[in-house]
Amino acid sequence: MKTFMANAQTVERKWYVVDADGMTLGRLASQVAAILRGDHVIVINAAKVVLTGKKLDQKVYYHHSGYVGGLKETKYSKLMAEKPEFAVKHAILGMMPKGPLGRQMARKLRVYAGAEHEHEAQKPEVLELVK
C-alpha cells in the first residue's frame, strides 16, 4: 500500500456563496469558519444578518487608536447600519485560529453587504447553511 499525501497540486479548492439573509450572526460565523479551512467563501447580504436578543443595543465593538485614552467603542446597532461587512467579517475571524493558519484562511473570505459580488468567474456553488 502507498500512503497518500495531499499537496498543493492535488488539492482542488472550491468556491461557495453563502446567503446571510435572516441567519443568526454567530451561527453563520461558526459554519463559515469551518468551511474556510479548505475552500473559499463569499458571504452576500451581510446587512440582513440577525442578532438575537438585545445584542443589537447592548453588544459593543471596542478598538484602540494606539494613543493614551484612545479606547473607542461602537454599538452594534450603529456598526450594522454603517459597516455590516466589517461586523460579519469580524465575527468570522474571531472563530478562526489565531496565527499563520488563521491568516491564510482569512484570505479566502469575501463579505458583501448586498446581493451582488464580483466573483462569477470562479463559478461559485450556492451553499445552504443550517439556520
pTM value is 0.90
Gap between the Cα atoms of 117 and 65, Å rounded: 31
**Residue-level pLDDT, tens digit, the chain, 131 residues:** 789 888 888 888 999 999 999 999 999 999 999 999 999 999 999 999 999 999 999 999 999 999 999 999 999 999 999 999 999 999 999 999 999 999 999 999 999 999 999 999 999 999 999 98
Which region, left, alpha or beta, applies to residue 44 given φ > 0 means left and ψ of -120 to 50 means alpha? beta
**Which cell goes with 69?**
485614552
